[in-house]
Amino acid sequence: MRRGTAVALALSVALVSVSPVAAQSLTDRFKGLFGGKSDEPAQPKPAPAPGQPADDDVDCPQVTVRAGASTYAVGATGKPAVGNEIRFQATITKMARECLRNGADITARIGIQGRVIAGPAGAPATVEVPLRVAVVQGGVGEKVIASKAYRTTVEMSEGGSVPFTFVAEDLAYPMPSAKAADTYIFYVGFDPQALSPEPKARAKKK
């Protein structure tokens, strides 16, 4: 069997064998999920400021992967990312979230774990992974409340399979009403547009 075909087969098997994407709370499992000890005792939380509710009173939406955005593949220059032309492919394997009240807003920390696998065409020494995190109000007409694009750089190894971890620290949105809070959800996923340079502002005519 040719080496390229074998690597392509390994890529497809790796994707099938990845555990289902899991959503977890960041309260006492955050450190365990992202490199700390999961059996550490929970640290006492500071008392809330006068007039502010405790963190436990803040509704923190569930987090899930946006449909169609769970994988990110890049092909050789000018080639589609299929078969032996794949340079690398990234997948999301785990997620976590934490919400904190900040006045009339909520600031969310969204943790994402994933893996980058080198493809038959050969991965570069470093890979830029484009991500997007959004909070959406679900329902008949889905409404995007806030959305931010991020990038994280992954250094590839000789083994060709490297895990990555990213935490979005600054997704802020207005606190919803108690009735609307149950319809909110966090979406994460890969977004190639996050790698595009931001458009330059047009100069005003004098």
CATH of domain 20-35+51-193: 2.60.40
Please say if the pLDDT value at position 153 is more than 80: yes
Please say if the pLDDT value at position 176 is more than 80: yes
Average pLDDT of the segment spanning 59-80: 92
Per-residue pLDDT, 197: 63
Please say if the pLDDT value at position 9 is more than 60: no
Amino acid at 26: L
Interior CA angle at 154 toward 1 and 40, to 5°?
110
Tell me the pLDDT of the chain averaged across its residues. 77
23-60 residue pLDDT tens: 444 444 445 445 444 333 333 334 444 444 444 457 89
Per-residue pLDDT, 145: 96
Cα 118 to Cα 199: distance, rounded to the nearest angstrom: 31
Q: Would you say 120 and 83 are in contact if contact means Cβ atoms under 8 Å apart?
A: yes
CB atoms within 10 A of CB 190: 22
Residues for the chain: how many in total?
Answer: 206
Query: Under 8 Å CB-to-CB from 181, ≥6 apart: which residues?
Result: 59, 61
Query: Under 8 Å CB-to-CB from 110, ≥6 apart: which residues?
Result: 63, 95, 96, 97, 133, 167, 168, 171, 186, 188
CB burial string 11-21: b at 16+ within 10 A, e below: beeeeeebeeb
